[in-house]
Amino acid sequence: MKNSVLIVDDHWVVREGLRLILETNDHYSVAGEAEEGGVALQLMEELKPDIILLDLNMPGGLSGLETLKEMHEKHISIPVIILTTYNEDDLMINGLALGAKGYLLKDTSRENLFQTLESALRGQTLLQPEVTARVFAFREMKPAVSTKSENSTLLTEKELIILQAVARGLRSKEIAFDLGVTERTIKAHLTNIYNKLGVDSRSEAVAVSVEKGILHL
């Protein structure tokens, strides 16, 4: 059975390009398209897509962030991958905090597109290296939310190492192999990280830790 994708972007050429790429893969089909978030919310209810590709900046209607907020309020749990450009770093961080499963630059490769889709459908968060680098770069231009002393004691050294690996897009199994521990141990550390940061997902953990100045390149 194919995974159905809802494409939400205010540019026809972007939607058409994504449709053409998705149609080359036997595992995916395009359920529908929308130019803005309001229409997208209606299509989510009608079409029940398996996953959503969502543009952040859609001036003609509900933006990507507004759409994510509406989804949260309506308890719509369809995984979302944000489509972003090179001037939306602040929106990217907010989108992560709202539960987006990943980000893709609009000029991403076909391989990265399908890799990110597959990870999101498995419930995992995958951030492409170039996107992660931009989140960190954006953090350097913003004042930290918490003081240095608060940030330095929030997470243990090992938890910081694991969180940095998560931000690079590594999976629990890969992190466990690198650190020479079991995958169960990594998942236990992730649970502690979530509790300390007050979050419940990898994407939120990355977003909050970036905003608080906890993660560093």
Domains of the chain, CATH where assigned: 3-137 (3.40.50.2300), 143-211 (1.10.10.10)
Over residues 27-66, the pLDDT tens digits come to 999 999 999 999 999 999 999 999 999 998 888 789 898 9
The two structure tokens encoding residue 88: 């939306």
The pLDDT value recorded for residue 36 is 94
Query: Distance (Å, rounded) from C-alpha 26 to C-alpha 28?
Result: 6
The pLDDT value recorded for residue 145 is 42
The pLDDT value recorded for residue 86 is 63
3-class DSSP assignment, residue 72:
helix
Mean pLDDT for the chain overall: 82
Report percent pLDDT > 70 for the chain: 82
Over residues 68-84, the pLDDT tens digits come to 989 988 989 899 999 88
Position 93, amino acid: I
Find the Cα–Cα–Cα–Cα dihedral 51, 184, 199, 36, rounded to 10°: -10
The pLDDT value recorded for residue 34 is 96
Whether residue 114 has pLDDT greater than 50: yes
